[in-house]
A and B are shown apart, each in its own frame.
Chain A
Amino acid sequence: MAELRLPHRSPGARKAMDVFIRFFSVTSATIGIFFLCWILWVVLKRGHSVLSLSFFTSAPPSPGEGTGGIYYALVGTLKMTGLACLMGVPLGLLTGVHLAEFGRHSWFAAAVRFCVNLLMGIPSILVGLFAYTVIVLSVPKHYSGYAGAFALAIIMLPTVARTTEDMLLLVPDTLRESTLALGIPRWRMITGILFRAARKGLLTGVLLSISRVSGETAPLLFTALNNNYYPKNLGRPTANLTVTIYNYAMSPYENWQRVAWGASLVIMAFLLGITVLLRTLLRERSHR
């Protein structure tokens, strides 16, 4: 009975606030999805008409005539991304191992973690300028695919390192203890047991970093530049998808613009594929 004398607030205001907040959150979410769908729709509409097998296997068209394709740019992008993986993935993996396994409490690891976070936030155009300064302007003095791969590797590094650290920390310490208790040396524990226990997480980090660099244009603009020839080796300016899109979309030639839309669709489909793969990997993790 005493409860009745308490100064209860009327539920009306609370309910109104609830409706208000819900309305705005739903509206914001809808606006976000709306623009995403719009982008997807435009790219699909403009890009799908050029898509065919020959689009992937043909040389770029001459300005103004012919359809052509993105073969050179596709090969260049794959080569540079592959080389960037070879540099960035082992380095990032080992950095993550240091952070999770050896440096949990050390000041050095804390400093490394801080730098890795910082590196993750650096605009990619700065990474491009950096690669331009230290590689393109040095000995051979020209743009090259190597410089492009170098810039992409720097962008991949922090993503791989942080994911590796997070995923290794998810492995319970009991597994570490029972491995060490068998007289297994620490490095064997890391490479043989922990990597295996966290393999899906580690793969997630690598895929995430690939998806991060697959749309990068700015760092390649200063390094790999672009090329109209087949990228036989990466010592020369190298054709790649994103700079091709940039150049062709800005060009006055209608057939180039079409190639740009097609290439955009290819990158978008690739990213979608990686995202689906990541989701499957992570879902399997949580079901285990």
Chain B
Amino acid sequence: MNQTIESIPHTTVSETVIDDPILSAQDLCFWYGNSQALFENNLDIAPRKITAIIGPSGCGKSTHIRVYNRIFEQYRGQRASGRVLMDGLDLLAPDTDIITLRRRIGMIFQKPTPFPMSIFENVAYGVRLHFSFTKRELEQKVEESLRAAALWSEVKDLLHRPGTALSGGQQQRLCIARALAMSPEILLMDEPTSAIDPVATARIEELMLELKQRLTIVIVTHNMQQAARISDYTAFFYQGRIIEFGPTARLFTKPTHPQTEEYITGRFG
């Protein structure tokens, strides 16, 4: 295993330059206890674009985006080194306010996780904590978020029903509405459609294309067609390293690294 890692060509400088990136990971390393999962990666995220992260299982895709909102800190033994710059400030610095950071960078997970409360409360719960809205403004915010998540028309008469009563795809859009209600600048999505059916997946992909008008999306996906369909940029991860990064159309048609080509043509992974 270690030998193969050593033999992989290391791309520290990506060929594609992003002007004015909203997030910039520099020399990012990550450890689960003593085992290193990310190796001095550099990745710039373009604002108001969709960046897809692809690669075989265990290559560090999820690990990478879990650094952006520091959610990994919840677990003992997981640590990151390097820098992630947002507005010129290092997110990984100890004095970063993690509550504000997570308000600005939302996250959607593989499995929809509605809170054990009503649909309205699911969206309102976080809003109340971060903003001091009047009751009226709060209701508006909830409606606006549910509309932005393309869920309003389906739930507007069921706002007081439990969030868990919705279908899987609806639950995932509820989670997106919940995240949008925080007015985030960036939305991280960790395989957001791998647990839901194709029709619901199509709706969420459509939604992502709408959302990128106003915010930045970084999506981890196992589904290469999905990456090709919706993303503007793609990063290919392999064994903890970013092998290739570039505009999606270029990366899928003219990959410059043999591993990328092998992966996207389905020869491994």
**Chain A contacts to B: CB under 8 angstroms:** 104-105, 172, 174-185, 188, 192-193, 196-197, 199
Tally of B interface residues using CB under 8 Å:
27
A183 / chain B contacts, CB cutoff of 8 Å:
98-103, 126, 129-130, 182
A178 / chain B contacts, CB cutoff of 8 Å:
107, 109, 113, 175
- Decide yes or no whether B106 CB sits under 8 A from chain A: yes
Residue of B71, B99, B109, B175 touching A185 (CB-CB under 8 A): B99
> In the bound complex, how far is the Cα of B101 from the Cα of A177, in angstroms?
15
> In the bound complex, how far is the Cα of B116 from the Cα of A176, in angstroms?
12
* B148: min CB distance to chain A, Å: 16
A177 / chain B contacts, CB cutoff of 8 Å:
71, 74, 107, 109, 113
- Decide yes or no whether B115 CB sits under 8 A from chain A: yes
Given A182-B179, A183-B129, A188-B129, 4 extra CB contacts under 8 A: A177-B74, A182-B126, A196-B116, A199-B116
19 contacts between A and B (CB under 8 A): A105-B76, A174-B113, A175-B115, A177-B74, A177-B109, A178-B109, A180-B74, A181-B71, A181-B107, A181-B179, A182-B102, A182-B103, A182-B106, A182-B178, A183-B103, A184-B126, A193-B116, A196-B117, A197-B115
Main secondary structure of the interface of B (DSSP, over half): helix
**Chain B contacts to A: CB under 8 angstroms:** 69, 71, 74, 76, 98-103, 106-107, 109-111, 113, 115-117, 125-126, 129-130, 175, 178-179, 182
* A205: min CB distance to chain B, Å: 18
Residue of A180, A192, A193, A197 touching B71 (CB-CB under 8 A): A180
Residue among B109, B111, B113, B179 with the highest chain A CB neighbour number at 10 A: B113
Main secondary structure of the interface of A (DSSP, over half): helix
Residue of B100, B102, B111, B130 touching A181 (CB-CB under 8 A): B102
Complex: chain B residue closest to A288, CB-CB: B164
> In the bound complex, how far is the Cα of B182 from the Cα of A180, in angstroms?
13
Interface pair B115/A179, CB less than 8 Å apart: yes
Complex: chain B residue closest to A182, CB-CB: B126
B76 / chain A contacts, CB cutoff of 8 Å:
104-105
> In the bound complex, how far is the Cα of B113 from the Cα of A177, in angstroms?
9
Known: A174-B111, A188-B129. A180 touches B102 (CB 8 A): yes
Complex: chain B residue closest to A181, CB-CB: B107
> In the bound complex, how far is the Cα of B107 from the Cα of A141, in angstroms?
61
The 4 closest A-B pairs by CB, nearest first: A183-B102, A181-B107, A183-B103, A182-B126
> In the bound complex, how far is the Cα of B126 from the Cα of A180, in angstroms?
10
B99 / chain A contacts, CB cutoff of 8 Å:
183, 185
B129 / chain A contacts, CB cutoff of 8 Å:
183-185, 188
> In the bound complex, how far is the Cα of B69 from the Cα of A183, in angstroms?
9
Interface pair A176/B109, CB less than 8 Å apart: no
Interface pair A197/B102, CB less than 8 Å apart: no
> In the bound complex, how far is the Cα of B125 from the Cα of A174, in angstroms?
17
Known: A183-B99, A196-B116. A174 touches B179 (CB 8 A): no
* B127: min CB distance to chain A, Å: 9
B106 / chain A contacts, CB cutoff of 8 Å:
181-182
Residue among B98, B103, B116, B179 with the highest chain A CB neighbour number at 10 A: B116
> In the bound complex, how far is the Cα of B126 from the Cα of A177, in angstroms?
14
A105 / chain B contacts, CB cutoff of 8 Å:
76
B113 / chain A contacts, CB cutoff of 8 Å:
172, 174-175, 177-178
